[in-house]
Amino acid sequence: MVLSRGWSVFLVGVGVWTWVIWPRFAVAIWQDPRSWASGTVAEGAATSFLWVHALLIAASLAIGTTVGALGIRAWVAARRRQAS
């Protein structure tokens, strides 16, 4: 499959966006009292609320990284096509 430079930039942008948004969300989830059995941040056992969100964050970061890497590969391939 051949992607244009525009789509390549879009994919890289999605990857960057993912790494800007999800770590901030992770901090918010960590600081949420619902994440901890005691209701106090970082005290007591982690609740399913924390684990589910941690899984969501990890999956989103993995997908975003993959999409960004594909965007970079497509950009490089587009440059090679243009140079030849």
Tell me how many helices (H) and strands (E) the chain has.
2, 0
3-state secondary structure of 37: coil
Closest CA to 12 of 73, 53, 83, 58: 73
Give the mean model confidence (pLDDT) for residues 65-69: 98
Q: How far is CA 9 from the centre of its chain?
A: 16
Q: What is the pLDDT of residues 14-52, one digit of tens each?
A: 999 999 999 999 999 999 999 999 999 999 999 999 999
Confidence of residue 82 (pLDDT cuts 50, 70, 90): confident
24 vs 17: CA distance, rounded Å? 11
* 36 secondary structure, DSSP code: B
pTM here?
A: 0.88
Domain boundaries, the chain: 5-83
Average confidence (pLDDT) over 59-69? 98
